[in-house]
Chains A and B, each alone.
Chain A
Amino acid sequence: MNKFIEAISALENNYVNEWKNRGGRVVGYTCAYVPDEILHSAGLLPFRVRGFSAADTTIGDTYFGPFICSLPKCMLQLAGEGKFGFLDGIIITPGCDSMRRLDECWRKAGDDIEGIIPGFFFHFGVPHKFTDYTVKWFTEETKRLIGALNSHFGADINNDKLSESIKLYNRSRELLARFDSLRTREAPPFTGTEALGVVLAGTALPREIYNSILEDYISEMSEAPGIPGRSRIMLVGSANDDLDLVRIIEGSGGLVAADNLCFGSRLYSDFVDENINPIDALVARYLSHNECPRMYGDYKKRLLSLKEKIKSANIDGVILQNIRFCDLHGSENGLFERDLEKEGIPCMRLEREYGPLVETGRMKMRIDAFLERLDRRMVPR
């Protein structure tokens, strides 16, 4: 576990440092719709940009307006403070309106603050639905990205390399699926806080290393004694890389046994087809991946996959959280609440701020009340 925590408790962790010292280059990205495999096959270290550890949003508020999600504001804050100095490149997508504007805000902050713009700065246009012509667009967009990486980093991405990377990442997905199944046990061997830590580490570590520590961890955990007798919570909604949010829930006596967060299970659910052309396979996996409400018109599919998880992980209650101003998750949470409560699954919507703006006292009050509600409906253990 320590290895994982070590990897995520500092932006520029030891593995990244080693990587850099060996002359390796790191490319950051803001959204789960960017295929890591491509960066990996270019010999680059993919790094999922986070907003954690920002102490305030002074710089963020300078460029973003007042009615914007605090996650990209924190990311910009860190960028402005030079905390992402180790990045050789950054890929920004129209994941959502707040996040896509990180593109301009980061660039403009670069006019005012020396040396905060990575040498490689790429806007990756991900469509908002899955059909033949959006697949065509996304394929071209993916090729455009590959071309740009090749020319900027002198990489030579080809089908063989891609297939190799896909195998490696599918291996991760396979391990993480096993890891997930441990959480579905009557008494899971680890907390949700630890689980988030494990998954997060994957966004900040060289994949080869990650797979091996992950494998050890899983075999170790399969024998470990479980944590019994807690209300099993599923955490749903806006991006969350903040262990403390999960800590508050578990501190109040819950156990987060499943999630569908884009810093969580969304990263590894669905495999990439190894038997077709690698680019087509990547496009198919990443664009058909409809867990994020940014993909319009897919609500029913998302509800279904949520229900399946609730069943398989034997969930007692669902916490539907969204960062303030995240309308995509916020209002989809409203639909989830309606449709899940209808089937007797207790839900709580939780609007929160990200990072430095979180106020634990008030969050705790709401979470306690929800857990009490769950306890009352549960047979005494």
Chain B
Amino acid sequence: MITAGIDVGSLTSKAVIMKDGKILSSIIVKSKPRPWESADIVINSTLEKTGLSMTDIICCVGTGYGRDKIPFIKQAVSEIACHAKGARWLMPSARTVLDIGGQDCKAMRLDEKGEMVKFITNDKCASGTGRFLEVMAKVMGVELSDLGELSIRSKNPVTLASACTVWAQADVIQHLNERTPIEDIAAGINNAMASRMSTLVSSIGIEREVCMTGGVAKNSGVVTALEKALGIHIKRIRKDDPQLAGAIGAALYAEAVSNGERI
């Protein structure tokens, strides 16, 4: 059976087409201002890759910030549920899932069957979100993806004066001006990120295995910093792009929906 999952986030949109639990094609693009535009783009380009057409898709589930505004989906499912399911597919042993998206940070705890038992999202302040890293990388004039590699080389990481994204940014500029080694600044940024996240995760109680999804999971620096802060090993996802977790979850739900299961 062929199903599709669409994840329209505030910064990026993703789509995945699955056949009997295998990924046929997937894509990640920068979101357009209107969610339905993003949805059209991602579904069409994933279809292209596979040479399939919309009619081949038995069922399509939408998730993410703009999920309610996607016209062609059968059902909308919350990103929390989708990320949990997707993470579980990416790593069947996962019991704690940390998803750091562009605009928020979610922590989810699952039972052995993969059912979600507890979750929390941060939304008072952007410290500890992907956006935080993005802003910092921009200030430092490095690629977001390089932030991790850089920080690993750091001998003595700086401490940022404030957790506020904007003020931390001011801090980073200061350090740049003081000619602080760039890897130490990068490490400082990742530590700030990690300490904010560890506070969040700790509130749902961590169980092994722990895995990370979302774009930030690709930042090895943050992952190691977080491992240090939490004092636990975070299992790296190799099966596929961790940023796709939400879309994968949606596609899996699509399969469940068409089997008449209740979501």
Contacts and interface: CB of A to CB of B under 8 A. Distances in A.
Interface of A: 324, 341, 349, 351, 359, 361-362, 365-366, 368-369, 372-373, 375-376, 378, 380
B108 to A, nearest CB: 9
A380 B78 CA distance: 19
Contacts of B65: 361, 365
Question: Most chain-A CB neighbours within 10 Å: which of B77, B104, B262?
Answer: B262
Contact of A376 (B115, B120, B123): B115
Contacts of B262: 375-376, 378, 380
Given A359-B123, A361-B65, A366 B80 contact: yes
B78 A365 contact: yes
Contact of B78 (A324, A351, A368, A378): A368
B257 interface: no
Interface in B18-65: 65
B121 A372 contact: no
Interface in B76-105: 77-81, 104
Contacts, number: 40
B116 A362 contact: no
Contacts of B238: none
B109 to A, nearest CB: 11
A230 B117 CA distance: 20
Nearest to B205: A338
Interface in B160-215: none
A378 B261 CA distance: 12
B119 interface: yes
Interface of B: 65, 77-81, 104, 115-121, 123-124, 262-263
Nearest to B119: A369
B116 A373 contact: yes
Given A351-B124, A362-B123, 13 more contacts: A341-B117, A362-B121, A365-B78, A365-B80, A366-B80, A366-B119, A368-B80, A369-B119, A372-B77, A373-B115, A373-B116, A375-B263, A378-B262
A372 B123 contact: no
Contacts of B79: 365, 369
Contact of A365 (B116, B118, B121): B121
B81 A369 contact: yes
Given A366-B80, A369-B81, A372-B81, A349 B263 contact: no
Contacts of B104: 362
A359 B80 CA distance: 18
15 contacts: A324-B124, A341-B118, A362-B121, A365-B79, A365-B121, A366-B119, A369-B79, A369-B116, A369-B119, A372-B77, A372-B78, A373-B81, A376-B262, A376-B263, A380-B262
Contacts of B80: 365-366, 368-369
Contacts of B116: 369, 373
Contacts of A361: 65
A368 B82 CA distance: 12
Contacts of A369: 78-81, 116, 119
A372 B119 contact: no
B7 to A, nearest CB: 13
Shortest beta-carbon contacts, A-B, top 9: A369-B80, A368-B78, A369-B78, A362-B123, A372-B81, A380-B262, A369-B81, A372-B78, A373-B116
A233 to B, nearest CB: 16
A351 B262 CA distance: 28
Nearest to B123: A362
Contacts of B263: 372, 375-376
Contacts of A362: 104, 121, 123
Nearest to A324: B124
A372 B84 CA distance: 12
Nearest to B65: A361
Nearest to A349: B120
Contacts of A359: 123
A357 to B, nearest CB: 10
A351 B80 CA distance: 17
B5 to A, nearest CB: 15
A348 to B, nearest CB: 8
A366 B121 contact: yes
Nearest to A353: B124
Nearest to A372: B81
B92 to A, nearest CB: 19
Question: Most chain-B CB neighbours within 10 Å: which of A362, A369, A378?
Answer: A369
B123 to A, nearest CB: 4
Contacts of A378: 262
Contacts of A375: 262-263
A378 B78 CA distance: 18
Contacts of A376: 115, 262-263
Contacts of A373: 81, 115-116
A152 B48 CA distance: 80
A63 B79 CA distance: 39
Contacts of B123: 359, 362
Contacts of A366: 80, 119, 121
A373 B82 CA distance: 12
B74 to A, nearest CB: 15
Contacts of B124: 324, 351
A368 to B, nearest CB: 4
Contacts of B119: 366, 369
Contacts of A368: 78, 80
A79 B99 CA distance: 42
A369 B121 CA distance: 11
A365 B65 CA distance: 8
A375 B262 CA distance: 7
Contacts of B78: 365, 368-369, 372
B75 to A, nearest CB: 11
A324 B119 CA distance: 18
Nearest to B262: A380
A245 to B, nearest CB: 15
B172 to A, nearest CB: 24
